């Protein structure tokens, strides 16, 4: 009996441990800040700690900039997101793209994930906070208005569908045109929580569903070729 109590105690300990919420906070403005909180632990993952520069003197630039060349402003319209590479998930793509195009692509990727085969797993995550703010700019007022319309037509529907498909406690999206400086910028803040036990349950359910579908298909295909043989014997 003592051994049984010990086993039950260990199981209960792990169940309680896996039921404790893990919170992931992502803040994007000038750079991406990512932190994970669990119990009393608060781990900052991004931005990575800058390495100390051992060399005080900066390296000489190979090519000098022309005097007349002006720095490029960040008023470029929605840039086309970089091509998807194998192994890149939605978060890696957002880290690479960033900006307005990166935020919009992140919303679209989240919707695809919810509607895909692994949607059950993504629903195990809970969005506590989701705040998005974007400004649209261009070379002149007309171009700014066009870019503002493009961003609104892409961001608002994606945000609306995401809110309907997932339980989000606090959320807001604000898009405004920048007629003065003509800058195109994006800011994002989100807090996602997860109870590991819910994720484990979702994975187990998905595995059983896939196994059931595979076994059902195998049984269906194995029985199919036997039917014509029976018909031939009856005809003889």
Query: What number is the average pLDDT over the span 198-203?
Result: 85
Give how many domains the chain has, as a whole number.
2
- Mark whether 143 and 218 lie in a shared domain: no
Q: State pTM to two decimals.
A: 0.69
Please name which of 37, 41, 7 lies closest in space to residue 25, comparing C-alpha atoms: 37
Please name which of 147, 157, 216 lies closest in space to residue 186, comparing C-alpha atoms: 147
Q: In this predicted model, which residue has the larger pLDDT, 219 or 154?
A: 154
- Mark whether 216 and 180 lie in a shared domain: no
- Whether the CB-CB separation of 131 and 189 falls below 8 Å is answered with yes
- Mark whether 150 and 95 lie in a shared domain: yes
- Assigned domain for 58 exists: no
- Assigned domain for 21 exists: no
Containing structural domain, residue 146:
74-190
- Residue 151 binned pLDDT confidence (cut-offs 50, 70, 90): very high
- Assigned domain for 148 exists: yes
- Assigned domain for 31 exists: no
Q: To which H or E segment does residue 37 belong?
A: strand 32-38
Question: Residue 133: its pLDDT value, please?
Answer: 94
- Mark whether 178 and 220 lie in a shared domain: no
Q: Each residue of 89-142: pLDDT tens digit? A: 777 888 888 888 889 998 888 888 887 777 778 888 888 999 999 999 888 889
pLDDT surpassing 60 at residue 230: no
- Assigned domain for 116 exists: yes
What is the overall mean pLDDT for the chain? 78
Question: Residue 78: its pLDDT value, please?
Answer: 54
Question: Residue 174: its pLDDT value, please?
Answer: 94
Instruction: Residue 98: count other Cβ atoms within 10 Å of its Cβ.
Output: 20
- Mark whether 161 and 214 lie in a shared domain: no
Q: Each residue of 22-79: pLDDT tens digit? A: 999 999 988 889 999 988 888 898 886 644 444 444 555 444 444 444 444 444 445 5
pLDDT surpassing 60 at residue 235: no
- Assigned domain for 40 exists: no
């Amino acid at each position: 009996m003592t051994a049984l109590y010990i086993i039950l105690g260990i199981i209960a300990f792990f169940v309680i441990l896996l039921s404790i919420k893990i919170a992931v906070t992502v803040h994007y403005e000038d750079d991406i800040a990512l932190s994970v909180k669990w119990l009393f632990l608060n781990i900052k993952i991004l931005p990575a700690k800058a390495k100390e520069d051992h060399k005080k003197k900066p390296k000489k630039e190979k090519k000098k900039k022309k005097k007349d060349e002006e720095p490029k402003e960040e008023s470029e319209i929605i840039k086309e997101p970089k091509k998807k590479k194998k192994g890149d998930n939605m978060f890696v793509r957002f880290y690479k793209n960033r900006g307005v195009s990166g935020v919009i692509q992140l919303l679209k990727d989240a919707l695809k994930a919810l509607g895909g085969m692994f949607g059950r797993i993504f629903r195990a995550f809970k969005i506590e906070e989701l705040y998005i703010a974007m400004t649209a700019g261009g070379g002149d007022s007309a171009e700014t208005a066009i870019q503002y319309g493009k961003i609104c037509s892409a961001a608002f529907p994606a945000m609306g569908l995401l809110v309907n498909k997932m339980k989000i406690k606090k959320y807001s999206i604000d898009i405004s045109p920048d007629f003065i400086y003509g800058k195109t910028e994006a800011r994002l803040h989100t807090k996602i929580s997860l109870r590991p036990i819910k994720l484990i349950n979702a994975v187990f359910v998905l595995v059983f569903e896939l196994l059931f579908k595979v076994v059902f298909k195998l049984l269906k295909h194995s029985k199919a070729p036997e039917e014509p043989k029976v018909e031939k014997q009856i005809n003889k």
